[in-house]
Amino acid sequence: MSALNHTHDADARSWVDSANAAGCDFPIQNLPHAVFRRAGSAEAFRGGVAIGDQVLDLAALASKQQLDGPAHGAARDAARAAALPALNDFFALGKGAWKALRHALFELLKHDAPSATVQALRDCLVPQAEVEYTVPARIGDYTDFYTSIDHALNISRLMNPDGDVTPNFRWIPTAYHGRVSTIGVSGQRFHRPMGQAMAPGAKAPTYQACARLDYELELGVWIGTGNAQGEPIALEHAGEHIFGICLLNDWSARDIQFWEMAPLGPFLAKNFATTISPWIVTMEALAPYRQAWTRAAGDPQPLPYLENAANRESGALDIRLEVWLESEKARNEKTGPSRLSATSFRHQYWSVAQMVTHHTMGGCSLNPGDLFGSGTISGPGEGEAGAIIELARAGQSPVTLANGEQRSFLEDGDAVLLRGWCEKPGHARIGFGESRGTVLPARN
């Protein structure tokens, strides 16, 4: 687990004024990574770091002398890798290199940096309002977990008021392998999927456009360093393999899903689109917001390979999350999106470290740039559901938007926005930006 250090100082300020504004997602205590270029340009994509409302262009920084000299050797090499059009090489350098670059950038961006440094770095800043992003790494494999007991119970009880999770849920972090080719960055627009669905009481399925389109509020976990095939990652070392976290929307075609997933699991219902936020918040930046990971006394306690004192002490992360929906009507009338729900990742039944460890226990190798989905994040309270199927009770209780429109499931033209941040007394607020995706009509 990352220890607290001077980069977490709540009083630290940047010479980039916008980074010091109240409510800013990207103060100097954050410094998340993305891959960007100026919007509409033919520029090469390259790595950047967010500071306030600006992107620090790492390719431009690498061409200057600010990281020259023996004291910055590791940071200079890391900056060059982090400036590439995909972050895989940077991920592969490991935790020491990630930390060296973060700490060097913190010093360069502090309010008391030398004037020559400030002058040089101003030339490396690009306004975020003028850029476009791409998926920040070459994703070799994508695994989507199912680790919220509140979500699992909500889904089970839609079919049976006394329903419970499957027996294995309380023993293992369950997951399925997803499709990399349709993972897109915030701003993704996709067509409503076609597929087979079986209507209640019908004797044969029909081929049709999805009628029960849903979102899923999730986090994306980016793997940094991997492991060799057949060499599991022990729980005490899992944190060394995790680079950082983004927002992730696992769009779901519920009518297609319920028909196809017996006996194997999700297929077409999950492979048409997945939308991630462009910014990856590092695990070091998230260190102040760790909490004790707990398990109810009446539930089975983890098997030994998924259990240790460090995970109990600080395995949970208090990442606050919200889901917003902007209908086409609201967009045209410029009335703004409606908030559907809010919760925290701290309620998740399994920790990120446990997901990594369990994933490798059978001999599976992970590689730099692999992506995990956390599974839908729902909390125990009213209004904490991470999917509209829960909020609207499978269409029985439609959700009313701020402009009076109602939704049982998503309609064409709807945009779903995921937002996330961390805050805690005595520490700076840091954010994740936004994941936004828009539903287009089906193609038949």
Burial, 51: exposed, middle or buried (Cβ in 10 Å; 0-12, 13-18, 19+)? buried
Phi, psi of 231 (to 5 degrees): -115, 95
Phi, psi for 95 (deg, rounded to 5): -60, -35
What are the φ and ψ backbone dihedral angles of 126, each rounded to 5 degrees?
Answer: -125, 130
Q: How many helices (H) and strands (E) does the chain have?
A: 11, 26
Name the amino acid, one letter, at 398.
P
Report the distance separating Cα 121 and Cα 108, nearest Å.
Answer: 8
Beta strands, E only, 173-328: 174-177, 183-185, 188-191, 194-197, 206-209, 213-214, 217-223, 242-249, 252-253, 274-276, 281-282, 290-291, 316-317, 320-326
* Cβ neighbours of residue 158 closer than 8 Å, sequence gap 6 or more: 389, 390, 393, 394
Q: Which two tokens stand for residue 84?
A: 């590439």
For residue 136, what are its two tokens? 């920040």
Question: What distance in Å separates the CA atoms of residue 124 and residue 340, rounded to the nearest whole number?
Answer: 38
Compute the distance between CA of residue 27 and CA of residue 405 in angstroms, rounded to an integer. Answer: 36
Taking alpha carbons only, the member of 271, 246, 222, 4 closest to residue 133 is: 246
Q: What is the CA radius of gyration of the chain?
A: 22
Cα distance between the two ends of the chain = 49
Residues catalogued as catalytic: 151
User: How far apart (Å, rounded) are the C-alpha atoms in residues 411 and 331?
Assistant: 14
Tokens at residue 365, please? Answer: 């190798």
Rounded to whole angstroms, the Cα distance separating 291 from 301 reads 18
Query: Between vectors from CA 376 to CA 373 and to CA 377, what angle results, nearest 5°?
Result: 110
Whole-number Å distance between alpha carbons of 260 and 198: 9
**DSSP letter string over 364-413?**
PPP-TT-EEE------SSTT--SSHHHHTTTTTSPEEPTTS-EESS--TT
